[in-house]
Chains A and B, each alone.
Chain A
Amino acid sequence: MLQGVIGAGAAGTLLANINSTARAQDTTPIPVGSALPMSGFAAADGIEFKNGLDLAAEEINAAGGILGRPIEIHVEDTKEMGADIVSQAMQRLIDRFSTPVLMNGYNVGTNMIEMDIAADNDVIMMHYNTLISHNEKFKTDPDRYYGCFQGDPPEYWYGPGCLNFLKTLSEGDKWKAPNKKIAIIPSANEYSIVIANAIRDKATEYGFEISLFETVPFPTNQWGPTLAKLRQDPPAAIIVTHFLPQDLAQFMVQFLAQPINSLVYMQYGPSLPAFREIGGEAVNGVIYSTVVGCLPDDFSKPFREAYRAKFGPNSAYITGSQTYDGLWMWAIAAAIAGGPSEPFNKEQTQKVAAALRRNVYRGVNGTYRADPAGQSTYCYPTQVADPSLGMPHQFLQHQDYKTDPKLIAPALYATDSFVLPPWFK
């Protein structure tokens, strides 16, 4: 029964054990819905989110499904996203397939409308929007939004986490900061702006000052005027919170035409293969971080290998790992609760939600534990000091664009040390 369970380790065993004791009468498939950006500018991520779901579903089904019922994945394309398109896509999934759960990746510009769709239909909704607005909305009415979970920490934690990383780095012997200046470059979207604001608001606490705060359009690939400003007043570190990999790769290509002695930290995009493919050698030295992503450890190795074997050598398991873990977590919670529920079955859906709140799950991205105040995942080390109770905020550096980036912090998970970027004179 466990032959197909290669990535989830203990989770697969747990689910299989629950299944072995269950006397399933019903073997009809369980529809799992997912509203993903399968086309448009975020399609690169949408495709990986679907890959993660497909792999998890395959493994869960090989372990006997949920109490003997196999999982069936249904995807609706959210294209350029936004509240209107995403809400319609989610409602279509519920209406057409009676999905008891909506396992999304991220969608931008939704104003967290996803939570209202889940609440109105009494279904579980897990997503990876990485937004503090999830927590804020949850707090307004926890009883209504009981089924809404964010599978990773909110983006707010990037702010203090990034500053802490820079401060620690400057105190070591690998990088001597030429000044205390930081330039922050967000793009015009909620995720980028919240992170940029968090860094700006906390900078002085960590001994830094802001020399430039420049909001660029979303998406953007013409960096000339912004680079001119950076060159006019070179900071110790440039923090780009815009997150599309292709745009960030262009930033580096255009930056290296006249480089300055500044560290370059970027948000999320450098974790995707497109960043290296488009930027090539220009990406060497770039630092980025992510509060959710597949760890390069032994535990996740079977998942990484299975993912690339199934979806190709250039597939981004770091993104697919998110929905992969999400589906596994939900499957176990649904099995513990005695079934996945269905739309408008509030009593059973609440049982599944209670299991998701109670369980601590070690997935390929690290530890998931829901913060009861906002039903987002705890962040290690800035929010909780215990790595077994929070998802690691990983700092990685591209040291050779031909190979995977190196994990350089937090120390407990690090596999390599920071290297001074090649453009430093």
Chain B
Amino acid sequence: MTLDILMSILVAGITTGALYALATVGLSLVWGSMGMLNMAHAAMLTMGGYAAFTVSSALGLPVIAGFAGAIVIGMIGGSLLYMLIVRNLLKNDKSTFESNVMIATVGIGIALENAILMIYGGQPLKQPLSIPGTLMLGPLALPYQNIVIILTVVVLMAFIALLLNRTRMGRAIRATAQNRDAAQLMGVAVNRVYFQVLVLSGGLAGICGVMVSSITQLSPPLGNDPMLKAFIMCVVAGLGNLPGAVAAAFGLALLEAFIQYAAGARWGFPSLLFVVIAVLIWRPSGLFGRAQIRRL
């Protein structure tokens, strides 16, 4: 294997890993702090991609406005999800919250996907927020779009880390994740934390939608594949373990890319499933997880 071939596989793996990480963080954040598996995450991701498309193409505004539009729509989606669904489900028996919210968000996800289908149609569309061209470094070729995706995700990861570790809001989120009742007794406004987490997760989903569609295309089921992969990463890392999820996203994406090269493209996804099965057998709490403990 020559250096340029190795590099092209690495670039493909890291880019995919960055996208997996972005999708995974949004999902893991909500699971870790609220015990909520947000099955509408895929549809929120798709909404973000279409929002950027609408702002940039239909309204003719600059690319940066499209990007901002995706974040805003994602955040609005997250806040509506809290106000219309989650808040009401939390009023019920807390022991059934996790299963109820999962079923409710499955319904929301299906409804959103079909709404997008009705509004935009089923034809795949080009995401205008993509950068053509390739940076040539000797024999190495780095597409600009891949560079943008990797840099965006690195910046976002740093932002999330700072937010969780250095801010009052982050401390409240971590406290709620560790023990909701104790956090509430200590004066943390748990409901506000839930709202903040869903808004943050929605914003991340919006950005992820733009990034994924920039190297694929816009279509109503856009978010389903990243959501599935994100779920795999969450399970492998340990549900709710944020740093572990990011490490799993990059690690498994690289593994997938190398297996696709070495054994054939069709073995990429089965290899991820094999890893999940192995992890569930030998480390049911995930590679980085500890039983009954959720950490952010």
Contact = CB atoms under 8 A, between A and B. Distances in A.
Interface of A: 38-41, 43-44, 46-47, 188, 214-217, 220-222, 224-229, 231-232, 245-246, 249-250, 253-254, 256-258, 273-274, 277-278, 280
B215 A221 contact: yes
Contacts of A274: 123-125, 217
B38 to A, nearest CB: 22
Interface stretch (B8-16, B101-109, B286-294): B8-16
Interface of B: 1-2, 4-5, 8-9, 11-13, 15-16, 114, 117, 121-126, 132, 134, 141, 143, 215-217, 219-221, 257-258, 260-261, 264-266, 268-269
Contacts of A226: 260, 265
Contact of B117 (A43, A188, A229, A245): A43
Contacts, number: 104
A258 B216 contact: no
B217 A246 contact: yes
A222 B7 CA distance: 15
A40 B134 contact: no
Contacts of B261: 225, 228-229
Contact of A250 (B122, B125, B215, B269): B215
Given A257-B143, A277-B126, A280-B126, A220 B265 contact: yes
B265 A214 contact: yes
Contacts of B265: 214-217, 220, 225-226
Contacts of A227: 8
B12 A222 contact: yes
Contacts of B2: 232
Most buried by A among B9, B121, B124: B124
Contact of A39 (B13, B122, B134, B268): B122
A246 B216 contact: yes
B72 to A, nearest CB: 25
Nearest to B262: A225
Given A222-B16, A224-B11, A228-B9, A278 B217 contact: yes
Contacts of B266: 188, 215-217
25 contacts: A39-B117, A43-B123, A43-B219, A44-B123, A47-B121, A214-B265, A217-B269, A221-B215, A221-B217, A222-B16, A224-B13, A224-B260, A225-B9, A226-B260, A228-B8, A228-B261, A229-B261, A232-B1, A232-B2, A245-B124, A246-B124, A246-B216, A250-B216, A258-B4, A274-B123
A228 B126 contact: no
A259 to B, nearest CB: 10
Contacts of B269: 217
A232 B5 contact: yes
Contact of B9 (A216, A224, A245, A249): A224
Most buried by B among A43, A46, A215, A280: A43
A315 to B, nearest CB: 9
Nearest to A274: B124
Contact of B260 (A225, A231, A277, A280): A225
A314 to B, nearest CB: 8
Given A44-B124, A214-B265, A249-B217, A39 B114 contact: yes
B12 A258 contact: no
A4 B132 CA distance: 46
Nearest to A315: B123
Contacts of B257: 224-225
B141 A258 contact: yes
List 10 tightest A-B contacts by C-beta distance, closest first: A43-B122, A224-B12, A225-B260, A225-B261, A246-B124, A246-B217, A216-B265, A221-B216, A258-B141, A257-B134
Contacts of B132: 253, 280
Contact of B219 (A47, A188, A246): A246
Contact of A224 (B8, B122, B124, B216): B8
Nearest to B261: A225
Most buried by B among A39, A228, A231, A278: A228
Contacts of A278: 124-126, 217
A206 B13 CA distance: 37
Contacts of B219: 41, 43, 246
B122 A44 contact: yes
Contacts of B220: 39, 43
Contacts of A38: 122
Nearest to A45: B122
A348 B110 CA distance: 43
A214 B265 CA distance: 7
Contact of A40 (B9, B11, B122): B122
A42 B216 CA distance: 15
A384 B260 CA distance: 41
Most buried by A among B121, B123, B260, B261: B123
Contacts of A44: 122-124
B230 to A, nearest CB: 15
